[in-house]
Amino acid sequence: MLRLLLLRHAKSGWPPGILDVDRPLAQRGQEAALVMGDYLKRERLEPDLAIVSPARRTQETWERVQPILGEIEMRQDGRIYEAPVGRLLEIVREVEPKIGTLLLVGHNPGFEELAKLLIGEGDMDSILRLGQKYPSAGLAVIDFELESWGDVAKKTGQLERFVTPKSLGNGEDD
């Protein structure tokens, strides 16, 4: 079985004169990233590999999550930034089969579109909430009864859960 974790970056700020790729996390985003890191650890959702967008807000999200989880291989992949769903699927399919749990840290709308593309079944409440909004620091956990990431395709996944800082009792979703 393979498990894909899609973690959208936490809430970012938009200081004047800053390019989108350079936007830092807002204070609320810094706190939300820690909440999600604690959740991943508590729920034993530690990935074998994290692939992270080079955008500052995704890097800062990972910098807060990673120390909670411990030593995890991380690859930065510029293709995640502003990626359409097809490119995200390509990144997933390239992952070597020895990786059982893969974490992507990136952006919307690509993550929401990828989750919707891959989910064939799963927890209905989570599917409905994901369909309404994929907020900052949202986490989709998608399981596949497949042997290889190269076999991941439309509707082959099962949404095991979808959690957000708000659903964990920590503030509002952005």
Find residue 105's DSSP bridge partners. 7, 52
Confidence of residue 123 (pLDDT cuts 50, 70, 90): confident
Residue 65: what pLDDT? 97
Q: What one-character-per-residue DSSP string does 53-99 give? A: -SSHHHHHHHHHHHHHH-S-EEEE-GGGTT--HHHHHHHHHTS-TT-
pLDDT band at 170 (very low <50, low <70, confident <90, very high): confident
Give backbone dihedrals phi and psi of 113, rounded to 5 degrees, phi first.
-65, -40
Rounded to the nearest integer, the mean pLDDT of the chain is 95
Task: List, for residues 23-68, the tens digit of each pLDDT value.
Answer: 999 999 999 999 999 999 999 999 999 999 999 999 999 999 999 9
**16 pLDDT exceeds 70?**
yes
Helix (H) or strand (E) holding 119, with range, is strand 119-122
What are the φ and ψ backbone dihedral angles of 29, each rounded to 5 degrees? -70, -40
Kindly tell me if the per-residue pLDDT of 172 is higher than 80: no
Please tell me the predicted confidence (pLDDT) of residue 174: 66
What six digits make up the tokens of 18? 């800053």
Mean pLDDT of 107-118: 96
Q: In a 3-state reduction of DSSP, which class is residue 7?
A: strand
Q: Is the pTM of this model over 0.75?
A: yes
Q: Return the pLDDT at 169.
A: 83
